[in-house]
Amino acid sequence: LYVSTHKTGTDSIVARIIARVEEAQDSRTRGERIIERFSRYYTPTILAGSLLYLIVTGDLHVALTLLVVSCPGALVIAAPVAVIASIGRAAKRGVLIRGGAELEAAAGVDVFATDKTGTMTTGALAVLRVVSCLDSLDPPPGTEASGEAAVLAWAAIAEGPSEHPIGRAIRTHAESLLGTLPHGEAFAYRAGSGVAATHRGHTIEVARPRPATVHSPEIIAFGRGDRTASTPEPGECERLDEAVANAGRDGMTAVIVHVDSRPVGMIALADTIRSDAAETVAAIRRIGVGRVVLLTGDNEAVAGAVANRVGIDEYHAGLVPDEKLAFIRRLQADGHTVAMLGDGVNDAPALAAADVGIAIGLGGSDLAVEAADLALMTDRLTAIPETLRAARRAVATIRGNLGIAVATVVAFLAGVLLGEIHMAGGMLIHQLSILVVIANGLRLTRGHGRRKIVIT
Q: Tell me which residues are annotated as active site.
A: 115
For residue 22, give the amino acid letter: E
**Dist. CA 178–CA 220, nearest whole Å:** 28
**Within 10 Å of residue 56's Cβ, how many Cβ atoms?**
9
> How far is residue 268 from each of residues 130, 195, 206, measured CA to CA in Å?
6, 16, 12
Provide the 3-class DSSP secondary structure of residue 43. helix
Phi, psi torsion values for 374, nearest 5 degrees: -125, 140
CB 294 within 8 Å of CB 306: yes
The DSSP output letter for 9 is G
How, if at all, do strands 356-360 and 338-342 pair? parallel
Alpha carbon distance 154, 182 (integer Å): 10
Do 148 and 165 contact (CB within 8 A), yes or no?
no
Dist CA 395 CA 78 (whole Å): 11
Q: How far apart are CA 77 and CA 326, in angstroms?
A: 39
| Contact residues for 47 (Cβ-Cβ < 8 A; gap 6+) | 67
Sign of CA dihedral 335, 339, 342, 345: positive
236-241 LR contacts (CB < 8 Å, sep 24+): 236/133, 236/262, 236/263, 237/133, 237/263, 239/131, 239/133, 240/131, 240/133, 240/214, 240/265, 240/266, 241/214
For residues 251 and 272, the answer to whether their CB atoms sit within 8 Å is no
